[in-house]
Chain A
């Protein structure tokens, strides 16, 4: 199953990141997973939140433009080589992982990793057929 990721472009200027985190905090939105990839001038912030519709709306109100993207959040078996197993499944099928990052905090189900891939439908079916559990939007809201 797929979940929605929020992407935000942030210039490396004082207060820009704070504006985003404060807007979300004020709206009572919970951040489940977060990654920031940055360069000298700007960064790309990616978020998985419990209520992405509300997050998008409050950010838009604060003049922060967001993009919504489908990603896969997969449960990683809590054993040595667990992550490697998942990555191998995808790469053997020729599916390209653009980037990945982990859920933060205790989810009660071991590790959960977020994958952004070039063939999301293919990846979703493939992982399920190999017995890797992928989270639904509903799962993300309930964690």
Chain B
């Protein structure tokens, strides 16, 4: 089932022409309205007129995550705030959030991206979609919500959490599709099994899952637990939100919405473009975004592109599910966490050493569980236990308010965390999400 066959099955030549036209317009608008882009272009003597089509894309300087911090909160917006109808925000690498904005038309384009995903999973106006993504600054909830409304489905905006109620809704309202993070949907599946409910009695037939990396093994598990098709949806708020690319029922890579975005793969070290099929860092340029035009944004996600025609008939190139990261970002329950954020908190609290370790695993309920281990400093150990308990509470609280998710803080003995063995040693991720 297609949502927008005209674009989804466009022939390559027409698509390239459309991309080139839209790229030139985007570059012009970004250069004229966003000082950060004007500066980047001027610094290397590049004029918007020098970009005549996608063959010139490589001349454009990259945009990176820190550009958002340097222009916090609205500095990268290309329109008046009058025209911005919504903002979302995600984690920055330090204290400042990454803020993104949308015009009315941007929201509509985004909803179209998500609608294509839903249609590709067989979801239409007769369906009931239970949105178990978090609603709020996070793009997951509202992204899926608007897409589901666009296809005319009935939306249950239940948000995340309260698993028993999620299952009651699946039973009573008969949702035919569910959307959420794969680890949460897996948890719902496990709970269904525990409760002794036969998944065949549940009308749900498909799940749309993203916001964190997952594996083929998890797909099989979820499909069996809930007796459904489990599809992968990819996105990041800087580029739009969920829907940047989407899986069809072939389950063999995610179609990139190429009429609205250009995807490139680059060598993360040299910045050189790599040919299709070669693994590298995924880079996006927006083609229709008004509020926040994005030129060659480096996602830090590692994958490769597959230009071969898909059995589903769509001509949009496919990207392989994310294979890793070029930085040390973690995704915990759908929330991006940078070790540098944890560092910011720890370095500002007295009584602990600036040494830490992050241990991530799935708990017995299959949900992500993050522990932060911090060394106590000698000056606090001569006092009362109460002092240490207060310290633990303070770190927990400060981490929670900066990261937006809870984690367990464990005070450990001085000198017990390995020293200077590189950043990777700071993170122990037992989930094996990249495979």
Query: Which residues of A are at the interface with B, using a C-beta cutoff of 8 A?
Result: 5, 7-11, 16, 37-39, 41-42, 44, 63-69, 98-99, 116
**Within the assembled complex, what's the spacing in Å between the Cα atoms of A99 and B386?**
11
A-B contact pairs, 30 of them (CB 8 A): A5-B382, A7-B382, A8-B381, A9-B381, A9-B388, A9-B411, A9-B413, A9-B414, A10-B413, A11-B413, A16-B413, A37-B385, A38-B385, A39-B385, A39-B388, A39-B389, A41-B411, A42-B412, A44-B381, A44-B384, A44-B385, A65-B378, A65-B413, A67-B378, A67-B381, A67-B382, A68-B382, A69-B382, A98-B383, A99-B384
Query: Which residues of B are at the interface with A, using a C-beta cutoff of 8 A?
Result: 376, 378-379, 381-385, 388-389, 410-416
Q: Are B410 and A63 in contact (CB under 8 A)?
A: no
Quote the shortest CB–CB distance from B383 to chain A (angstroms).
7
SS class of chain A's interface: helix, strand, loop or mixed? strand
**Within the assembled complex, what's the spacing in Å between the Cα atoms of A9 and B391?**
14
Quote the shortest CB–CB distance from B410 to chain A (angstroms).
6
Residues from chain A with Cβ under 8 Å of B382 in the complex: 5, 7, 67-69, 116
Q: Are A63 and B384 in contact (CB under 8 A)?
A: no
Q: Among A8, A16, A67, A99, which residue has the most Cβ atoms of chain B within 10 A?
A: A67
Q: Are B384 and A42 in contact (CB under 8 A)?
A: no
Further pairs besides A9-B376, A39-B389, A66-B381: 6, Cβ < 8 Å: A8-B381, A11-B413, A37-B385, A39-B385, A44-B388, A67-B378
**Within the assembled complex, what's the spacing in Å between the Cα atoms of A67 and B383?**
10
**Within the assembled complex, what's the spacing in Å between the Cα atoms of A9 and B415?**
11
Residues from chain B with Cβ under 8 Å of A8 in the complex: 381
Quote the shortest CB–CB distance from A24 to chain B (angstroms).
17
Q: Which residue on A lies nearest to B379, using beta carbons?
A: A67
Residues from chain B with Cβ under 8 Å of A9 in the complex: 376, 381, 388, 411, 413-414
Quote the shortest CB–CB distance from A33 to chain B (angstroms).
15
Quote the shortest CB–CB distance from B359 to chain A (angstroms).
14
**Within the assembled complex, what's the spacing in Å between the Cα atoms of A38 and B389?**
11
